[in-house]
Every structure is written in structure tokens, then in C-alpha cells.
Amino acid sequence: MAKKKKAQVLETKGVTISKEPSTVKGNRYSSYRITYYKEGRRCRERFRTEAAAQKRAQEVRKELEKGTIHIGTFTAKDHHVLVEALKILDKSGWDSGLLEAVRQVAEAKRLLDGKGTLMEAVRLFLSEAAREKLAVISFPDLVELFLVHIREKKKSRRYVLDMQARLHFAAKTFTANIADIKTAEMDKWLASMKKNTSRTKNNYRKAIRTLFRFGREKNYLPREAKTEAEFTTSYDLGSEEIGIYTPEQLEILLSRLSPRMLPFLAIGAFAGLRTAEISRLEWQHVRFEQNVIAVPASVAKTANRRLAPILPVLAAWLKPFRKPAGKVLESVRDEFALAALFKQAVDAIKGEDGNPLLKIVHNGLRHSYISYRVADIKNVAEVALESGNSPRIIFSSYRELVMEEEAKKWFAIMPAKERLKEIHAAIADGL
């Protein structure tokens, strides 16, 4: 028995037209059938010619578009949904009808195969299309463009130097087009900074995020999307221990460092000023008669003026260097140069075995002052005012870090007579 031939589908679009083989009185010919749904039931009509089938199919489609077919099967809710759907399509500028919209959505869903939503696919497509129109620039070149930009915007010298140092360091690792650098690469780089604190890593992360935002503003990155830097990992500061020096280590520093470094060392250890603040401090701010250092807003990191006490131990170390005016550290350009000089000086202090006797503690002088001062006077609020820090941070990070007797030792390290002679001799020689 011969197999019956299947109908050949010629067209659909809501009304199916199929070509089917037929036999009448032994004569074989083709007929054309249209299939559509009316009032929830399938309807079929047969025609001898394709032209006739096409004509009737067109009539049915018009009825479908006008809503004159199927209306009997719609509930009030169905009708409301249909009307709202048509309104949405009309507002969007779609002009191919509701059925075609549904068909395309269904086909897109099939192609995605559960790998995301239709909107996610559209956003990815738009993002990739936008990338093709982006201007191309390497990470190092964008760094230089950004540095020019912040100088032109008259950003503070401290901010410019900080961004310059951090971004130049990052540019040693990232050399590709800025649009090709991914979150995973930046996270790996930050995680590789084993010797840096969480706060330092976050500072590098902040610098890179700022650079990427600048790149987005200048059309080097897609403007409608978050940058890759925004998704980098932030480091938790809560569990990070505060590093300090012991009184014995401070005695070594005060007795072995070059006299030109002593004002920095003494002010950091006995008044708690930040390295950047000391680098900008002038003698007019050091008020010996009132026993305070008046840290002006132009010097303070937080741009809030404050008064730091000149304790007897600080006065003893600082008075030999006293001048009526000028910078306290005349030969130091900025905080970065000062930090480098201090590290170089500490590394030069060798033990009997020829190895460095001490290691630099990050922000160690300031952290030490706050820790020993809290242990000495037991007043977190007062120490917060003196150091320009928040009581919350001091209470959580410094309270009970050291014992009271250690604090007494710290603030009792007075200069020996021989050391004072060395200081006066160095001053006389112009340091």
C-alpha cells in the first residue's frame, strides 16, 4: 500500500494554507486548504486553486486583526489583557501585529533555552553594539588623560599625587584597552597585594573605580552600564588589626634616626598627626605657649581644624628645632617623599647581625599615639578630638590595645643629654 503524501504547508501567519494531493475518479490533482480557529474551534476550507485559498486567507486575517473572530470565546479579563497588549505595542512603534510579536517572543525564548531572560539578552546585545562604537584607549593612556583632567579641575595637590601614585602602579599591570579589562583581573591584582592592609587595597580599588567612571564619561566605556571596576571586591576593615610600635622600638627610633627626621617622628608619636599633615605643617601652627598644635583645615586630612596637645615629651623633643615661621619639614616636598625618607631611615638601622633592626609599621606612629593616649587618659571622646578621628573607630579599634603601664613608658621617653647635644650640633651644621 502506497504511503499517503503529506500536505505541503505554504504559509501560516495566523491562517495556515496547505497544498494537498487529491484524487477524483482516478485523476490526481492538488487542492488547497486553509485552517484557522473560530470561537475556539478549528475551521477548514478547501479550494481548487492557490489564488482562491490566498484570497480567503487574506479575508480571514483581516477578521483576525479586527477581532471579529474568536470574540465569543473571550472573557472580560481576556478582552482587557488583549486591549492593553495592543496599546503597549502601539506605544512601542510595533506595526507587525500582536500575533507576530508573540511569535517573535516565543522564538527568542526558545533560542535562549533557559540561559537568561529576554531582557538580559537585549541588554547584552545593546552593550556589545555600544562597545563597537567606543573610542579605544589603553589603561596607561587613560591614566595620563585623567591626571591632566584633575589638574585642570584644580584638585588638591594631595589628591593628584595620591591618584598618580596608585594609578601609575596599577598601569604596570594593566596595559590593555580599558574596555577589555575585566572584574576578575582587577580582583586578582588586588588580592595579590599580600603585604598591604585591607584599607590600602580599598584605596587602590577606589582609584580604579574613579578612573573607570572617567573613562565612561569620555565614551571609552558604555555609558548605560556599570563599569567592570564597580563589581570588584571590597575588603572588610572590621577584623583588621592596628599595627603599633612598642616603647622600646620608639626609643631605638628616637636615638638612632638622623636629627632631621626627629620633628616628624616626635609629632607623629606624641601628637598623632598624619604623615600628610606633618608634611604640610608650619611652625606658626605649633603654639608652644598654649601647648597645642593648631591643625588648620588646609593641613588636616578631613578639612576640619583641630587642636592636638603638645605634651611635655613632645615639647622636649621639638623645642630644639623651633623657628618663628616656615615649614616644620623644610626639605620635604610632600607626604610621599616623607614616607619614603622615613622608610629609608628605618631600614638603615641595623642590628649586630647586619640585618634591619626594625620594620616599618603602616601608619604606626599615629596608631601608636592613639592607642597609648587612650590607655593613658581613658577618654575616647577627647582622643577623637585630638586626633581628628571618630569615637566609634577609636573605641572599636584602639580601646584596650595596650596596657596603661606601657602608655606611661611611651610618654616618658625624654631626650638624653647626649642626644640633645647631637641635635644641636646637627642644627648648627644646617642638618
- Write out the H or E segment, with its range, that includes residue 19: strand 16-24
Query: The C-alpha cell of 264 is what?
Result: 616628624
Q: Which of 179, 196, 231 is the last residue of a domain?
A: 231
| Whether 422 and 294 share a structural domain | yes
| Whether 201 and 278 share a structural domain | no
For residue 100, count other CB atoms closer than 10 A to its CB.
14
Q: Is residue 57 part of a domain?
A: yes
Q: What pLDDT is attached to residue 328?
A: 95
Q: Is residue 29 part of a domain?
A: yes
Regarding pTM above 0.85, the answer is no
Q: Is residue 83 part of a domain?
A: no
CATH assignment at residue 164:
1.10.150.130
Query: The C-alpha cell of 248 is what?
Result: 622600646
As a whole number of Å, the CA-based R_g of the chain is 39
| Whether 151 and 183 share a structural domain | yes
Q: Is residue 321 part of a domain?
A: yes
**Average confidence score pLDDT of the chain:** 87
- At 399, the pLDDT band (50, 70, 90 cuts) reads low
- DSSP E strands: which ranges in 110-173? none
Domain that includes residue 3, residue range: 1-76
| Whether 30 and 156 share a structural domain | no
**What's the pLDDT tens digit per position in 26-52?**
777 788 888 876 665 678 898 888 889
At residue 189's C-alpha, the angle toward residues 184 and 195, to 5°, is 140
Q: What pLDDT is attached to residue 218?
A: 93
Q: Is residue 98 part of a domain?
A: no
Please, is 31 exposed, middle or buried when counting C-beta atoms within 10 Å of its C-beta (0-12, 13-18, 19+)? middle
| Whether 261 and 402 share a structural domain | yes
| Whether 18 and 67 share a structural domain | yes
**What's the pLDDT tens digit per position in 84-102?**
887 888 888 888 888 888 8
Q: What pLDDT is attached to residue 71?
A: 47
| Whether 346 and 422 share a structural domain | yes
- Number of domains, the chain: 3
| Whether 153 and 196 share a structural domain | yes
| Whether 55 and 30 share a structural domain | yes
| Contact assessment for residue 328 and residue 282, using Cβ atoms and an 8 Å cutoff | yes
| Whether 267 and 406 share a structural domain | yes
Residue % of the chain over a pLDDT of 90: 51
- Average pLDDT (61-79) is 64
| Whether 305 and 407 share a structural domain | yes
Q: Is residue 106 part of a domain?
A: no
Please, is 352 exposed, middle or buried when counting C-beta atoms within 10 Å of its C-beta (0-12, 13-18, 19+)? exposed
Encoded amino acid at 381, one letter: A
Residue 290 CB contacts under 8 Å (≥ 6 apart), including other chains: none
Rounded to whole angstroms, what are the CA distances from 103 to 74, 77, 119, 176?
20, 22, 16, 42
| Whether 273 and 357 share a structural domain | yes
**What's the pLDDT tens digit per position in 354-392?**
888 998 888 899 999 999 999 999 999 999 999 998 888
Question: What residues are paired with 42 via a beta bridge?
Answer: 37
Residue 252 CB contacts under 8 Å (≥ 6 apart), including other chains: 349, 357, 358
CATH assignment at residue 351:
1.10.443.10
